[in-house]
Amino acid sequence: MSFTAEDIRAHLGDVDEDLLSEDALELLLDEGGLYFACARGAEIIAQKYARRADKALGDQRINYNESASMWLDIADRFRTKASKTTAPIVGGISAADVRRRKAHGDRPQSDFERGMLGDDT
C-alpha cells in the first residue's frame, strides 16, 4: 500500500501547522508503512519541542516538555498500531527461496542438514 506526505500530515493532525518540513516528509515516505512513518514523524515533532526551553511570563506558561511527551505518546500508539498490521516474514517455504538462501555467501554454515543421521528423512 502506498501513501503520500499528505496522508502522514492528516494522520498526525499537521494539516495547517507545518510541524514537519517537506524534506522530513519525503524521508518518511521510505519508512515502510503509513503507521511507521507517522510514528517516526511524531518522534521528529517531539524532538523539536524537546529542544525548546519552557517559558513563563507572569501567569502564562508554555510547557514544551509536555508537548514533547505528548508527541512521544502518539509515536508509541502509531508504532503499536503498525506492529499489529505488519505481517511476519516467513522464509524457506518455496524451493526457490531455499536455493536462494543457500546460495547467499554471507550465510553461516548450518550445523544440521538432511541425512546427517543416516536416515535420509
Going by pLDDT thresholds of 50, 70 and 90, the confidence category of residue 44 is very high
What is the percentage of the chain residues whose pLDDT exceeds 70? 91
Residue 43 has pLDDT above 90, yes or no: yes
The answer as to whether 56 is a domain residue is yes
The answer as to whether 91 is a domain residue is no
Look at residue 102 and give its three-state secondary structure. Answer: helix
Please answer whether residues 42 and 14 qualify as being in contact, where contact means their C-beta atoms are separated by less than 8 angstroms: no
pTM for this prediction: 0.64
The answer as to whether 69 is a domain residue is yes
25-29 contacts at long range (C-beta below 8 A, 24 or more positions apart): 29/3, 29/4, 29/5
The answer as to whether 90 is a domain residue is no
DSSP assigned state of 4 = -
Range of the domain at 21: 5-85
The answer as to whether 15 is a domain residue is yes
The answer as to whether 100 is a domain residue is no
**Residue 35 confidence (pLDDT):** 92
- Residue predicted with more confidence, 93 or 50: 50
Which amino acid, one-letter code, is at 109?
Q
Report the alpha-carbon distance of residue 35 to residue 1 in Å, rounded: 12
Report the alpha-carbon distance of residue 46 to residue 13 in Å, rounded: 14
**Residue 60 confidence (pLDDT):** 85
Compute, in degrees rounded to 10, the torsion defined by CA atoms 30, 34, 37, 43: 180
The answer as to whether 105 is a domain residue is no
The answer as to whether 98 is a domain residue is no
Q: How many domains does the chain have?
A: 1
